[in-house]
Structures are given as C-alpha cells and as structure tokens.
Chain A
Amino acid sequence: MEEALRHGPLSARPPPAAAMRWTRLAPGLTLAVLVAPLAFGLAFTALPAFGYLPALGGHVVSLRYFAAFFTMPGIVRSIALALGIGLATGGISFLLVVLFVAGWAGTPAFARLQRGLSPLLAVPHAAAAFGLAFLVAPSGFLMRLASPWLTGLTRPPDWLIVHDPLGITMTVGMIVKEAPFLFLVSLAALPQLKLVETRRLAASLGYGRIAGFAYLLAPALYGQIRLAVFAVIAYSASVVDVAAILGPTLPAPLPVRLLSWMNEANLSMRFVASAGALVQFALVLAALALWLAGERLVGGGSALLRACGVRFRRDRWLRFLSFGLVVLCAAAVFTGLALLALWSLAGLWQFPDALPQVFWLKTWQRQLSEIAAPFATTLVTALVATAIALALTVACLAREDETGRTGGRRALLLVYLPLLVPQISFVFGLQVLSLLTGIDASLAGLVFVHLIFVLPYVFLSLSDPWRAFDPRYAVVASGLGLSRGAIFRRVRLPMLARAVLTAAAVGFAVSVAQYLPTVLIGAGRLTTITTEAVALASGGNARVIGVYAFLQAILPFLGFAIASLVPALLFRNRRALRT
C-alpha cells in the first residue's frame, strides 16, 4: 500500500513486456478488422461496377453497366421500396421508442416491460419474420382464430397481406425487431439524463409528460442514440432475408434483386449487380441525408411548438397508445415464435383449424440428420467469431485503461461503420476477391466475415460497463501487492464477468442471425441454420420452416441464458457478484 501510494496507482509494477505489446497492437488490429474488409470489399465491388474485372472478361472501364442497371424493368420501384422501407422502419421505430420512453420511463410498468423486451433483441430477424408471416397471412393464425365463427370463412380470403406491393408487412416485420434494439440502446443512455428532476420541472410548469420529455430531454437522448438510428435505417434499407420472407416480389426491393442477379448464368449480370451494389450504397447515403433533413424539420417544428407554448397536457391517450404498441410488438414476436414451434410439431393443419389435427415428432425426426452439419457450422462460426471479438474488445479496453484515452466520437463512428455501410455493397466485393484468389468457401473466411459484424456489437455492449468500472478497486488491489495481470484476472474480470458474458451472448446472437454474408462467403457449401431457414422461405413446408426457424431463434436465447446462469454458478458464494 505504502509503495502504491508513493508511486501512484498502477505505476507501481511495470507489467510484463509481452502483455504490454499485445494490448498495444489491439486498437490497430481491431480497426483493421473493421475497416480493411470494408475498403477492400467496396473497391472490389467498384471495379466490376465500372466494367473492369479481367477474370470475368471485363477489360474496359465504362459506365455501361450503370446504364444497364437503370434499364432493368421496375428498377425505380425497387430503389424506392428499399429507400421507403429503410426510412419508414427507422422513423416509426424511433418515434415509438421516444414516445414510450417519454411516457413511461421510471415507472414500474416500464421496468417490467424492459425485462420483456430485452429477449426480443436475441430473436434473429428471419425467425421473427417467419413467425409474423404465420401470424398475419390470410391463411395465418389470426384468421384461423377468427374463422369461421366470426368471419364466416372456410377458405382464406384472397388478400395480398404478406408480399404486399408496398412492403407494409415487411416494414412491420422490421419494426418489431428494430424498435426493441433502439429501446435497449436508449436504456443505456437514460442514466445520463436527469429524468426525474426534469420531469418534475416540466410538470410544475404545466407540460404534459411527453411534451416535457420532448422539449427537455429528447435532444440529449437523441444525441446518444443517433448512430444507432442511422444503423437501423441503413440495415432496413439493405436487408435481404426479411425482404425475401415478407417483402414485395414484383418487383422486390433492390437488395433482393442484386443477390439474384449475382447468381445468373449470364456473367454480365454480375457487373450489373456490382453497379447496383454501389447504387445501394448511394441509396443508403440518400436515406441518411433525408433523415438529417428530417432532423432539422423536427427540430424546427419542436422549437415552434415550444415557442407557441404548446404544453400537450392531455397526453394520456398517446402514452397508452405507445404502451400498447410496444406490447403489441413483443406479443407479435413471441406469438410468432410459439407458432413456429407449433408448426414444427404439426401433422395436417388446414385452414380454418385453430390447432393442428395431428401432432407428431416426425418432422423433427426426419430433419435431425440434415440439420447436423448446418447446426455445427452455425455453432462453430458463432463461437469462434465471438471469442475473437471478445479478445479484441477486451484488449482494446485494457489498452484504454493503460493510456487513459478513449477513442472518442471518431472511434465510435468507426465501430459503427460496418453497421452503416450496406452489407451487400462490400460483401459482394469480398466474394469477387475470393473468386480472384481462388480461395474456396472456408470456415476461416466465414468466421472472418462474421467477425466484421460481431465485433461492433460486442464492443458497444462491453465498453460502457467496462468504462464504468471503478478504478479504485484496482488501486486497492495494487496496494495489496497484486501485479497488473493478477488484478486483471482476479479482480477486474470476475467483477465484469456478467458484462463480458452478456457481450459474448450479444455477439453470438449477431453471428447466428447473419444471412447475407453467410450466403455470399459460404457460397452454399457452408450453410448455417439461418441460410437453410431462409432458403426454405420460398414456399417450403411450413413444418420444416418451423423446425429451422425455431432452432434459429432458440440458439441466441440459450446464449443469453448461459450468460445469466454462469455468474450465478461461478459466484454462488459471492452474493454481490451475482447481480
């Protein structure tokens, strides 16, 4: 202790040189993992887009593939669909979350819902989309429940609900997944707001709860979650799996069409698809620009309302509406998952029967041997990618502690980069790269491409609790004579075990859910539960879809369950560490 005091905290014992060197490399390595594939991928998408790819017979740089792209039938509509679905998902999810937080933060109902919503984040998009389709289709569960006693129908109505031309079902499918994501990001930002005091102040001045939050707290909250909103818009405008399950078909949103062009036997379509992938990139930038313009508009509008003294005192209806919608989101996803399980056990289940006539295990039994390989690939890829992401993140954060500097806003933007650039725009290029280098679909390649998307989520999930760690524990430990390595192992890691495991569960869930990168880099030879499930989307047997999508949904849940159980076991005799 004396020594520690004399030399100042943590400088008492120089750490072993090897450990120092390793963490020093971490930020650069992390940056390379995040940025290098993006740069290479975009470059190798751009080359064929401009007609240059000698291996496939493209020798002349020209704009003719862009010209060809814009003459594809229905292309304007495909672009508009992607743009509209991206902005609608981002806007509606954001509005819903802000209204809900404004109306309910700090109440017991809020705390209860918070526990209900967190697991939603773990449900892969594809599984949620399948569940929704089984729920709302004209032949879906809701119509079955209401038929024939209420609707009088014995056959499903001829309504275009799933695959509707405007992509409304698809947008709903995205919102039920993205709103919980924004909600959880907001939760992390809430402690930095003086919620209770501000609410009292606003109330004392006669403002309704929502108006008070909107005028006083929303700008600060928005600043914290802005990048997450951008990521939601970019992702929703570029998503392929949900679009294939719920989206319009004639024509489909742009990303879906790009993927199908990439697989055409006519090689020149690959050049057109590459040109389209750059258009997709521009489209996302345009969506973000529109959003930024919208920010100004909303800011100005809010200032105007404030200046006019609009207090919006009677906001009870809106608060309950937002509450109802959030509950509806959660209910839709969970009912959908239950339907997947039900279908996987169903024998004959005709409309309008509310339940299957026969239950059997036949579907599971028949699928077991087919599932084994994709299941193993899913598990191994997710575990390895998560382990690497975790090691890099911990090393980066440890390096932060050593230097006392965090990356700041710019580093945060870099971490978000793979979530903002459309996957299709740079994973296309990575695929071209693997073709050029003759490297076959390999597990290492798959792990690497998953790592690009797992790493940001692991970093975002772990960095807050890590930075919030009270440094005085380390000082005390150092004073008690522990080396820096021992402090890390015996004090810091155990105390942060829960946060580390949660970050690992998040990373695992992200990897399990990856569709597009798996399809493009796995090239059909390496398949996961997710790619198999989406492949079945094309009209496959509902029972088999049930098996795959249910498994896909259950895997991340298991990850989170382990993450919460392990600390309880590990620290069964350390009550304070268990929570």
Chain B
Amino acid sequence: MHKLFKLAVLGLSTALAIAGPARAADAPDPANWQAVLDSAKGETVYWNAWGGSQNVNDYIDWAGRQVKARYGVTIREVKVDDTANAVAKVVAEKAAGKNESGSVDLVWINGENFVDMKDKGLLMSPGWATKLPNWKYVAFKQNPTITTDFNTPTDGLESPWGNAKLVFFYDSARTDAKDLPKDTDGLLRWAKAHPGRFSYPAPPDFIGSSFLKQVLYEHIGDTSKLYKPVNDATFEQDVKPLFTYLDALKPYLWRKGADYPENYPDMKRKLADGELGIIFAFNPSEASSAIENGELPDTVRSFTFPGGTLGNTHFVAIPYNANAKAGALVVANFLISPEAQLHKQDPQYWGDPTVLAMDKLSEKERRKFADLDLGAATLPPSELGPVIPEPDASWTTRIEAAWKKRYGTAR
C-alpha cells in the first residue's frame, strides 16, 4: 500500500510537470481551403451544443453523417444544458495552461456567451468566418444581427447558423384566438384571466431570459439604454418596471411560480397536454415541426406581437485551443451551405430560418427554399412582425442574476 502510494505520487508529479504552459498551435487559414480540407480529414470535432431540443440533436446527427461522408470529419455532439458550461471548460483549460488540444472544438453560441469568450480571448483568431467558401451565400447585408451579436461586432470570430425570432404558440382547440395578447401587458391580463396557464422557463435558460428582455424592452421607457452597457448607477431603477411586472404575474403563473418549466421543449409538452395555454419559442416553425413529430396537435397556431418581438442570430464559434480547428472550419462551412440550410429550414427536421440571402443562390436552390412547406402553424415571414434587436449582452447577464436573487428560491 505504501509503495503504491509513492508510485502514484510520482506518476502524478511527472504528469504535472509535462502539463506546463504551452502555446497555441497555428490556426489553419480558411483562405487556403484545400489545405483546410486536407488537414481536416480524419479529425473528430467535439461540438458543444445546447442539447435540450431533439430537433436540433437530430439535425446535428444528420450534419455529422454528411461531413463524415464528404470530408472524412467526424462530429461528436457534446450536449450541454447551458452554453455557459462549454465556455467554462475553455476558461478552465486556459487557466490550467492547456493552450492546445482543448476539449471543445466547436460551440453553438451567441449573445453574452460569445461576448464573454471574445472579451477573454478564448476564440480562434483572427476572424475566419468571412473567409469561408460558403460565406458568399450569407445575408450579412440584409441582416445586421449576422455581424453584430447582442450589440457586439462578431469580427468573423463566429459563423452564422440560423435566425431566431420570438414567436408565441397556442392550441386553437383550447384557447380562443380572439383573446390572444398583443403585447406583454396583454399577456399579463390573459394570465390573470387564465390562472396557471402561462409560465416561462427559469433563467438562465435563454428562452426565459429572452422573455424578461421582451418585458423590459416594452416597459423601460427609454429603450436606447438597452443598447449601451448596463449603467450600474441606474440599473436598479431601470429594471424596476420589469420586476413590478413579474411580481404581478407570479400569482397567476403555472404552479404559482413555485416551479418553472425547464425550457421551451418542456413548455411544448405542457401545451400538448393543455397544462399551458400560451407558450413561446425562438423558432417560428417550432410548432409545425412539433406537429410533424407528434408532439403537438395540428390545431396549434402561432402569433406574434404587432409592436415587435426579440430576434437574433445564432452562430458557431471555435475556441482558441480547439484540437480539431480544421475540422471545425469544415463543419462551420458546411452549415452555411445552401443544402444544409435548406434541410434546417424544413419543419420536418427543424424549421429554423436560414441565414442565407435568397438573391445570392442559384435559381434552383431559391425555388427549393420557396417550395418548403412551412405548415399551417407557421406564420409567413410577412406576418412575423418587426424585430426588436437584442439588448447589449451585459443586460442579459445582469437581469439573469437579479432574477435568480429574487425568485431563485421559492416563496
């Protein structure tokens, strides 16, 4: 036993000595795409992605089979409950001096997590996204959120994957369409009239946080404050209307706010059973896709607020110490190919809106997008209403913390 202990200590100390500071390996250059393809072959890309939605998991699995067949790149999805967990891994690796062969190769990201990684220098640089061969299809001119993520320039450090817009859903068989709210104040009135039939996922779930931001945007008065970093001096005052609203809402929430839905797929399940009457998601085709998969009845319909709802773009990024950078680039490039974007927008699979510009596609590809059957539960793009751009990322972090402090322990 004694000898064994000595041996273990010896082994440990040598291992510690080896794991000294290391420098980041040279990043592959997407301008030389053939070289990227060559070194990507045989790599395994550990893609850290929020794993709460089955459509997304299935889509990633499909993408994995495609890039395996075409480029010899293997995708392993690492499902995280919160993108911050993936950020945490890279932060810890950097702190421990692991500057190469990191455990995260690609991360599904946007907003405060992107800003956090960018600020801490945790992303592969220089910017690479705009040099990807398929960037030529991307609608970066039409859609400002592709180059500005939560008020922060992306600088090519992340590559767009899909567009998102807050949309609400209800079951027309159980909820009367006449009563549907037109803004968050209307939603509060609806909740009071239908106690226990509305709720939102507990922040820091991103859909829950988005609901808070929607309420804040409608109630803060001077919305320009939201597009600057949080001002510590006025923060309490600025968010006061938000918490007044939430306090008023709480007694009428599902389970009276003693428990919250986990995330939007959880709300979907509760809509199917009639536990909730109005739910929301960031994907306008969420309901069509769920009807397709037997998760929701075909009587579900969607609506949005005439005054606008939050919208943003979601991306993929590569950590500075990723082990399979070339492979990650190949995957990021595949994800913005017309084919992959078409598959993604099809409600049979996911229904997530494309980030590509239709006028940059070939006639044939354009027709395929136009011919997609979005289903009766999806609003046509013309009826989705105005997009409210995401507030500065610092707001997300701060209101999540304030929410936790107020409602994080029941009663």
B3-19 contact mask (Cβ, 8 Å, vs A): 1 or 0: 01100100010011011
Residue numbers in A under 8 Å from B265 (CB-CB): 539-541
Contact indicator B254/A435 (Cβ below 8 Å): no
- Can you spell out 7 A-B residue pairs with CB atoms less than 8 angstroms apart? A155-B273, A160-B258, A249-B202, A347-B294, A351-B273, A438-B19, A525-B76
When C-beta atoms are compared, the residue in chain B nearest to A56 turns out to be B95
Q: Which residue of A lies closest to B262 (CB)?
A: A539
CB distance from B8 to the nearest CB of A (A): 6
Chain A residue, CB-CB nearest to B58: A366
A158–B272 alpha-carbon span in the complex (Å): 15
Asked whether A263 and B4 contact (CB < 8 A) given A160-B259, A270-B92, A437-B15, the answer is: no
Binary interface encoding of chain A residues 419-451 relative to chain B, with 1 for a CB under 8 A from any of its CBs, else 0:
000000000000001011111110000000000
Interface membership of B96, Cβ < 8 A: yes
Inter-chain contacts of B12 with A (CB < 8 A): 433, 436-437
* Complex interface: stretch among B79-87, B242-250, B280-288, B373-381: B79-87
Q: Are B259 and A267 in contact (CB under 8 A)?
A: no
Whether A250 lies near B258 (C-beta < 8 A) is: yes
> Which residues of chain A from 534 to 553 have a CB within 8 Å of any chain B CB?
535-536, 538-544
B155 within 8 Å of A by Cβ?
A: no
Complex-state Cα separation, A126 to B279, whole angstroms: 28
CA distance A440 to B12 in the complex (A): 15
Partner of B96, one of A158, A436, A536: A436
**Per-residue contact bits, chain B 65-103, to A (CB 8 Å; 1 contact, 0 not):** 100000000001011111011011101110111100101
CB distance from A433 to the nearest CB of B (A): 7
Query: Do residues A532 and B79 form an inter-chain contact, with CB atoms below 8 A?
Result: yes
The 9 closest A-B pairs by CB, nearest first: A539-B266, A74-B409, A539-B262, A347-B294, A155-B274, A438-B19, A351-B273, A437-B15, A158-B196
**Chain B residues within CB distance 8 Å of chain A:** 1, 4-5, 8, 12, 15-16, 18-19, 46, 48, 51-52, 54, 57-58, 61, 65, 76, 78-82, 84-85, 87-89, 91-93, 95-98, 101, 103, 113, 116, 174, 195-196, 201-202, 254-256, 258-267, 269-270, 272-275, 293-297, 404-405, 407-411
Closest to A155 in B: B274
Question: How far does the alpha carbon of A54 sit from the alpha carbon of B202 in the complex, in Å?
Answer: 35
Rounded to whole angstroms, the CA-CA distance of A538 and B80 in the bound complex is 11
Contact of A156 among B113, B274, B294 (CB under 8 A): B274
Complex interface: chain B residues within 8 A of A536 (CB): 51
Question: Is A197 part of the contact surface with B, judged by Cβ < 8 Å?
Answer: no
Shortest distance from the beta carbon of B406 to any chain A beta carbon, whole Å: 10
Question: Are A436's CB and B81's CB within 8 A?
Answer: no
Q: Assess whether B409 is in contact with A73, with CB atoms less than 8 Å apart.
A: yes
Q: Tell whether, in the assembled complex, residue B84 and residue A265 are in contact, meaning their CB atoms are under 8 Å apart.
A: yes
Q: List the A side residues contacting B294 at CB < 8 Å.
A: 346-349, 358, 360, 362, 543
Please name all residues of chain A whose beta carbon is closer than 8 Å to the beta carbon of B174 when the two chains form the complex. 155
Report A-chain residues with C-beta under 8 Å of the C-beta of B96.
55-56, 435-436, 438
Q: Which B residue sits closest to A522, measured CB to CB?
A: B78
Q: Is the CB of B410 within 8 A of A165?
A: yes
* CB of A282 within 8 Å of the partner chain: no
Beta-carbon contacts under 8 Å, A325-366 to B: 346-351, 358, 360, 362, 366
- Cβ–Cβ < 8 Å partners of A362 in chain B: 293-294
Q: Is the CB of B78 within 8 A of A525?
A: yes
Q: A73 vs B46: C-alpha distance in the bound complex, in angstroms?
A: 35
Is the C-beta of A578 less than 8 angstroms from some C-beta in chain B? no
Q: How far is the CA of A21 from the CA of B61 in the complex (A)?
A: 50
Q: Which residues of A contact B258 (CB under 8 A)?
A: 160, 165, 250
The answer to whether A350 touches B84 (Cβ under 8 A) is: no
Chain A residues near B15: list those with CB within 8 A.
436-439
B199 to chain A, nearest CB (A): 10
- Beta-carbon contact of B81 and A351 below 8 Å: no
A324 to chain B: which residues have CB within 8 Å?
none
Partner of A350, one of B16, B95, B274: B274
Binds B, one of A28-36, A174-182, A479-487, A567-575: A28-36
A163 interface residue (CB < 8 Å to B): yes
A347 to B272, CA, bound (A): 12
Q: Are B273 and A156 in contact, CB atoms less than 8 angstroms apart?
A: yes
* Cα of A155 to Cα of B46 in the assembled complex, Å: 42
Minimal Cβ-Cβ distance residue in A for B84: A265
15 additional A-B pairs beyond A28-B1, A156-B274, A263-B88, beta carbons within 8 Å, are: A31-B1, A40-B8, A55-B95, A56-B92, A73-B409, A155-B174, A155-B274, A165-B410, A264-B84, A267-B88, A433-B12, A437-B15, A539-B201, A540-B266, A541-B265
Known: A56-B95, A362-B293, A524-B48. A540 touches B18 (CB 8 A): no
A139 within 8 A of B: yes
Contact partner of B275 (CB less than 8 A), chosen from A36, A155, A349, A358, is A155
Which chain B positions have C-beta within 8 A of A158?
Answer: 195-196, 254-256, 275
Contacts of B116 in A (CB 8 A): 265
Contact residues, A243-277 vs B (CB, 8 A): 249-251, 263-265, 267, 270
Residues of A within 8 A of B254 (CB): 158
Interface contact B1-A538, CB-CB below 8 Å? no
Question: In the complex, are the beta carbons of B260 and A249 less than 8 A apart?
Answer: yes
B61 adjacent to A370 (CB under 8 Å): yes
Q: Which residue of B lies closest to A351 (CB)?
A: B273
Interface centre among A265, A347, A358, A373 (most CB of B within 10 A): A265
In the assembled complex, A138 has its CB within 8 A of some CB on chain B: yes
Which positions 38-52 of chain A face chain B at CB distance < 8 Å? Answer: 40
Given the interface pairs A163-B259, A251-B408, the reply to whether A538 lies near B273 with Cβ below 8 Å is no
Alpha-carbon separation in the docked complex, A264 to B401 (Å) = 13
Q: Is the CB of B404 within 8 A of A73?
A: yes
Q: Which residue of A lies closest to B117 (CB)?
A: A265
Is B84 a contact of A370 with CB atoms below 8 Å?
A: no
In the complex, the chain B residue whose C-beta lies closest to that of A436 is B16
Which of B1, B65, B91, B273 touches A369 (beta carbons < 8 Å)? B65
User: Which residues of chain B are near A438, meaning CB under 8 Å?
Assistant: 15, 18-19, 96, 98
Q: CA–CA, A539 to B201, complex, Å?
A: 10
Does A223 reach chain B (CB closer than 8 Å)? no
Chain B residues, Cβ within 8 Å of A267: 88, 91-92, 95
| Contact call A55/B255, Cβ cutoff below 8 A | no
The residue in chain A whose Cβ has the minimal distance to the Cβ of B290 is: A541
